[in-house]
Amino acid sequence: DDEDVYIALYDYDARTNDDLSFRKGDKMLIINCDEGDWWRARLLQDNKEGYVPSNYIAKFSSLDSQSSGDDKIAEKNNTKIIRLKINTRKLNWFSGTIWKQIRHEGMVKHYRIRKLDIGEVFISRNSSFLTLVDLVSHYCNDADGLCYALKQACKKLEIPQTAGLSRELADKWEIDRTSVELKKKLGEGQFGEVYEGMWNRTTKVAVKTLKTGTMDKNEFLREAQLMKKLRHPKLVQLYAVCTQSEPIYIITELMCNGALQSYLKGKGKDLAVPTLIEMAAQIASGMAYLETNNYIHRDLAARNILVGMNNICKVADFGLARITLFNNLTINIFVFTHLPLIFYALLFQNDIYEVSRDTKFPIKWTAPEAALRQMFTIKSDVWSFGILLTELLGKGRMPYPGMTNRETLEQVEQGYRMPKQPNCPDRLYAIMLSCWQAEPQKRDSFETLQWKLEEFYFSDDGVYRESENI
């Protein structure tokens, strides 16, 4: 029965003896799904059993499974590739995007998929369906008013991270230091070094080594417990820590293209504005998750965003700002003004983060109320996000060019805001200005910023096509 069959969406190589290796497209039966994010499965082709990450598989009959087919279809027919991307943001309707490629040129058409009160979905009222799966199946066989019939599911750009390094470590964060091998050094900063590493001789990871005295061990362990529970596709995942001896190791997922700031000056220097806006939307998505969990980053900047394949962006170092003197472990070229700010109390009062002793401070990214009155909230993170947008558009340019930190603080307090960059669309600059409202409560939420950026190029209803049969 296909209802009981799951299909692999990605390749997975076993990391421990209890794991089950599989390839994309393999079918399996689930034996036990009661152990959290790791399920026990049996492959249909050879009856091998083991644990699999549940986010790597989908029911064979589900919409997600339709993206697990043969990617080589594109090579066989390069004159026409039609893809559907479902956006389930709205409560009573979805947006479907069809991308057509003729030779090497692309064309995008957007269709609104509506939902009836009885639960059926439709593009044309002449044809309604019980589920999105049924709708997609129908338009794969017949264009029926669309510009083209659907031919291929949209390929997923990113392989998701597993919940922990393995089933045994999913809820455990202290691991044996001998299981971690340090490989290539990726960078260093005031408080430690960053390496590409290997866990259990099977899994590539990033390893941050913290210099002795950088943080209080007990405070770090308390914070690590919170950080490990924060899981989102646009957050760099904390896998584990090694704290039994110095230096402390922080084990996270490895992002192949490093810090966004460096990426924009190197491999990403020719990225077009639409791509930069899509990257900004990803960052806003990660921050919206922190927002819903009442978590404050406190040092949101391009240096603390990591980049993977296909311009995938993830928020990094959320949480470390509370327990290190400064959470910049990979960049050491910034000059900051020394201000008499109380630093890092690890106390939240009415969602306000207060600091507890003198330290260096990233003035050009910091909201005025945080820099001058030591009040950190998610809205001060929103201010920093607006500054990050200028870094994106400026390909890693230092904010407030030509101004010192002290001049920046004085001018911003008097109402100065960075002018619009030449390549910045007017609507994007309006988003920046919304982030820089003097009154924190008037700034957009990250949830609002996320949808504004995700729908930046088709937020107007006029871009949606209706089926010719309506």
Beta-bridged to residue 5, according to DSSP, are 29
CA distances from 443 to 131, 183, 228, 305, 447 (A): 38, 43, 29, 22, 12
Domains in the chain (CATH in brackets) are: 5-62 (2.30.30.40), 82-141 (3.30.505.10), 171-254 (3.30.200.20), 259-455 (1.10.510.10)
**Residue 130: DSSP 8-state:** S
Residue showing tokens 């030591």: 374
Find out whether 365 and 301 touch, Cβ atoms under 8 Å.
Answer: yes
Global confidence as pTM: 0.79
The CA-atom distances, in angstroms, between 410 and each of 60, 229, 341, 397, 438 are 60, 39, 16, 21, 13
Question: How many whole angstroms separate alpha carbon 454 and alpha carbon 87?
Answer: 10
| Residue 59 among known ligand-binding residues | no
- Just list the catalytic residues: 299
Q: In this predicted structure, what is the pLDDT of residue 115?
A: 80
pLDDT at 121: 84
Cα gap 446→427, rounded to integer Å: 17
Q: Can you give the pLDDT at residue 407?
A: 95
**pLDDT score at 37:** 92
Write the pLDDT tens digit of every residue in 326-362. Answer: 333 332 223 333 333 322 222 233 334 334 444 456 8
Write out pLDDT tens, residues 13-55: 999 999 999 999 999 999 998 878 999 999 999 999 999 999 9
- Residues 8 and 39: their CA atoms lie apart, in Å, by 13
| CA–CA gap between residue 268 and residue 262 (Å, rounded) | 9
User: In this structure, how many other beta carbons lie within 10 angstroms of the beta carbon of residue 281?
Assistant: 19
Low-confidence ranges of the chain (pLDDT < 50): 68-81, 91, 103-104, 323-359, 460-463, 468-470
Res 142: pLDDT: 87
pLDDT for residue 136: 84
